[in-house]
Each structure stands twice: as C-alpha cells, then as structure tokens.
Structure 1
C-alpha cells in the first residue's frame, strides 16, 4: 500500500487526483492522472479494496464507470500504512527469532556457540554498531574505554545517529573511563552527548569495551591476542548476553555521574566519620547518637554527601568515598 503515497506510481497519481477532486468520475480522473480510463478503473478498485477510496453510484447501476469516487482522508491512509508496517516488522522479528533459535539448535553439537560471532573487520564492526542502535527500541548501554581510535568524522557520524535515536525516545546510558575527559576527540564528544541528554557516568578503569542494544545484541571489543588491533564479539540473546547486561548494571551503580566526576569536594573530619558510619550500614539515628549530632543535621549532611558523590545508596557512597581516598 506504500505506493498510494508515491506520487510517481499509478496508484499514487490516482489517489492524489482523488484528494484534490471530491466525488470525481473516471472520465475526470483519467486525463488528470495521465492514464487511460481502464487503468484508472482498475486502480480505483484496488484503492477501494485497500481502504483508500470509496465509490458512490446510482442505485440502478452496478457499473463502476457510473460511480463517483472519493478519497478517504490521507491521515487515515498513512496510519493504515504505518500499522501494516508495524505488523510486518513484528512478523519479521518473530520469524528471525525462530530462525535464530533453529540456527543455534542445529549447531549445538558442532563445537561452536551459536549466540557468538567473531568479527575482525573494522567496517563490519561499525556496521554492526549502527544496526544495534537503529534496532534498539528502549535503550542503548555503552562502556567506552581507550584506545579511542575513531576519527573526528567517525565521532560526528556517531553523534548524528545517537541524536536521532534519542529523539525517537531511545535512552542512552554510557560509562566512560575517567581519562575520556582529557582525550581531544572523545572528551568533547562525551560533553556534547551529555548536553544532548545522554546519561553518562565514569569509572577509573572499566574492564571492557561494550555496547548493548535492548536485550537483543551486545558487542564486546577486546585487544587482539598476540598482534595489533582489536577483535569484536557479537553476542545475541543468550545467557552470555544476560551476564554482560548484569555486568553493565553493576558497574553503573558503582560509577560516578559525569556531571560531578571532576568535583574535588573537601570534607572535614565530621563528614568523614559520617561516611564511615554510612558505609558500615548505620542509620541516620545511629549516626546522630554516635557523633552527638542532631538527627536533622545528619540527614542534611547525608543528603549533601550522596549528591556530591553521585550516589543513590549508602553502599554506593561508601564505594565512591573509598575511591576518592576519603575513607
């Protein structure tokens, strides 16, 4: 039905003539569309069958040539096209999932792991990364570590793609190594993406380079053994992909939000003791009694320390404080 919206197709030309000419007859539509009457009649019947046009005719005549034709609203036609596209995509995904399961089942005893594909060609890796982002419907999770080998053009292309996906509602969460701030290319790219809405955090030394699209595909990039370059592993739905997603979420909880990663907060002895007690699991009431402080003072200081550390739990605060050498 897509060609109904294509002005260069026969059906598109007839439908556009109908849109501009309410209750038109075939004799009027044929010259306007540049088609003969028989072709226009066949197209009108197709449009009526697909819900893009309707005929009005005299009760005494069953000949479509005597009818007037009316286009149904374009907004309804567009919505029908989009719904059919969505159904086709859903059907394709289901078929792909079934074929993927069959693929892995057929190879379960062949000495290979069907969910894993090794890719060494850089162009193929970049294409897989683009597919991962374009297919994501909910979120893309990324761990980015050196070496930052991409060119400025590569980062600009990635920015453009990421902005489009975020505009479509896809959430990007990224964990960067702390030194990314200092890289002349990766640093400005990270800053622009954070400003555009990316949720970014930093860790001192993330253990791997990783990208995950929803729960459908992960790409792990590792140094090549015994030679220069890298090797990428494409991981499809499996226990391994679930494990990689769990690794990301664990590191995310430990990482520092990028907006506060560079803050060098000086704390006094009282805050240091509060942090120590927080890390041990003490409640606000227990901390207040132990340090001889008012409960409201403790609550206020705990809230401030959590914010500066970019932590949402006391455990995270303890980890971040230890990383900064405060404990």
Structure 2
C-alpha cells in the first residue's frame, strides 16, 4: 500500500486528488486522476479497506469520498514497516542462533535437522516438492550453481506438481534476469503457471512445502558446497513462513506475457515517460497521441509487464532491457 504516496501510481493519484479536493464523487475523481470510473472505484475500495479513504455510503453511485489525513496514513505505513522489520530481525536472530547450533558438537533444536551431503540436499528438495499437496514457496538467491541437467530435471518435476494442482510461488533475486541458465528456466516456469516476483536482495535461499517442511540452504563454511537446514513445524517454521509472505508483498510481480519479446519505439517512449513520472495527459501531449490511445497502451504495457503500478512497470521494463 506504499504506492498511495506515489503520485504516479493509480492509488497515489486518487488519494492525492482527494487530499486536494475533499468530498469528491467518483466522476470528478476519475477526471482529476486521469483514470476510468471503473478503475477509480476499484482503487477506492482498496483504499477504504485500509482506512485511507472514507465515505458515508460506499454503495451509492454518487457517493462523495474523503481522504484520511496524510500524517495518519504515513504513521500507519511507518508502523506496518516497523512491524515487518521487527519480524525480520527476530527471524534473523533465531536463524543465527540455529546456524551456530548446527556448527557445534553440542546443542540441540528439535525442529531442526542439518543435511550436509550434496546428493541428499538435492534429494530433500525433490522430496519437499513431491510431498506438497497445496503449495510450494521458494526464495531463490545466487549463486546459481545448478547445471543445465539439474534445471531440466527441476522443470519436469515442477510441471508435474503444478499439473497435480500444486501452486508454486517464487521470489527471485533481481540478478536472475542476467543469469544465462536461471533466467530461461524462470521464464519457462512462469509461462507454465508459476507465480513469480523479484526482489533486489532477498535475505536467504528458502523453500517451504505446504505447512510441513522448510529448507534453508547456506554456503558451507569449511568446504565448497552447501548445507541445508530442515525445519519442521515449529515457531521457527512459522517465522520463516511469515518472512516469505512479508517479502512476497514487497516483491515486484513478473509476467510471462512478453517474455523474450521486444517493444516498438512508441511503446518504449511511453514507458520512458511513465518511468519519469509523466501523466497520461503529459505523455499524449509529448508524443502527439490521443489520450485514449495512451491510456490503452499504458494499460497494455502494465499487463505485459505484470505490474500494478507505474513504478513496478519501470522496474520490470528496465530489467528486461526495454529502457
């Protein structure tokens, strides 16, 4: 919900219009924000659910809307961020404690098992996916050490599990776009139905199968290769699950639409102006296009990039080399 303060996002444009023009009906809001009335109603519904805007009668066609005070909105966002980072720090501290336990001859944590054999690390990954019945959640970070054969086998397994109804949600490191093996695999899996998002610097390599097993993979300290920590249902497991969901909300969606394609010069100009903060009206004037044409192309580009805001579209376009 941070984009409510971004003047280039749909939420930001609607909220900013209400801040400057209190008790506005949807029609005038749409005109001020440069959005359709349908889009404005959807945004108002989201903002109302977060107590950022209010109205006396949300179901009335001519209902007038009011913005919550910006200071109140900023404080609510600040508290949400503080809670998120507190949870992340607590999870990091717990992981650090367990990490040290795993490397001592003494100490025990019942929900934890350490796997050091490379072959078993791969076997555990397959077991986690094969036993999942509902969903597999993954955070994938470099180094990307898998061979082409490994990725081919993983693709086959993942397609089988998705065909069986298992939902895959993956958060990829931003550098995955530059990896010659990981990126094509990621693109094919997205096309096959994987829900994917990217984050500049996720904190760990993690896989979670349903609510049964989590696997944290770390670089081995005293030799080449990796060590996996298997975490069974416990307070630590729940903390890792919460971390994934928090990062998922912060990550940028990746769309399969347009993967491997290029865009024409006009769309590139539109994306460049979007990324610079230009409104639809400003883009239309700058490029000599009709406003409806710009609105239509912006909507198509957002869908192609799997983005819900102009900021997300700019991030995805830059990562794909379109800007």
Per the normalisation by structure 1, the TM-score is 0.49
Instruction: State TM-score, norm by structure 2.
Output: 0.50
Indicate the structure whose relative CO is greater, using CA pairs within 8 Å and at least 6 residues apart: 2
